[in-house]
Amino acid sequence: MKTSVIISIIASATLFGCSNAATSISNQKEQSYICQNKALAGGWSASDVTPEAKQAIALVIEKMGDDAELKRIDLVRIQIVSGMNYAVQFTLKNGEQWHAIVYRNLSNEYSIVEPAKLGILCQ
């Protein structure tokens, strides 16, 4: 009985540790894919800060709440899909750097694909 419990605890701890590592690796892969400078069909590319990118960031800031005040937009990367994906990095007035991904469909409606996360988008 005790052996079964101990094996169950060890197996659970191992699985939990593996899932966190897998999440970290998938986030790194996603970021490296977004940040590549290779010209690939359907890939991400650098963009200027356009009115559409500003609108995407405005949606993210709105969802972050009243404490989030935008200081500047640091980086915009775009991906042409059936519409446009915007990967944005921005700095708040408190000095924190955040990033998020927003989708704009063909009807110019915006939705957040990846909510704001603390930290930089591209290393």
Residue ranges of domains in the chain: 36-118
Mean per-residue pLDDT over the chain, rounded: 83
Query: What mean pLDDT do residues 34-46 have?
Result: 81
> Which stretch of DSSP H or E encloses residue 44?
strand 44-46
The order of strands in the sheet holding 97-104 is 44-46, 70-81, 83-92, 97-104, 110-118
User: CA–CA separation, 108 vs 75, rounded Å?
Assistant: 21
User: What's the confidence (pLDDT) of residue 4?
Assistant: 57
Task: Classify the C-alpha dihedral 52-58-60-62 as positive or negative.
Answer: negative
For 12-25, write each residue's pLDDT tens digit: 544 444 444 444 44
pLDDT higher than threshold 60 for residue 103: yes
User: What's the confidence (pLDDT) of residue 25?
Assistant: 42
Could you tell me the fold of the domain covering 36-118?
Nuclear Transport Factor 2; Chain: A, (3.10.450)
User: CA–CA separation, 52 vs 69, rounded Å?
Assistant: 19
Q: Which of 58, 67, 55 is nearest to 94 (CA)?
A: 67
pLDDT higher than threshold 70 for residue 9: no
Give me the amino acid identity at 116: A
User: What's the confidence (pLDDT) of residue 92?
Assistant: 98
The pTM score is 0.73
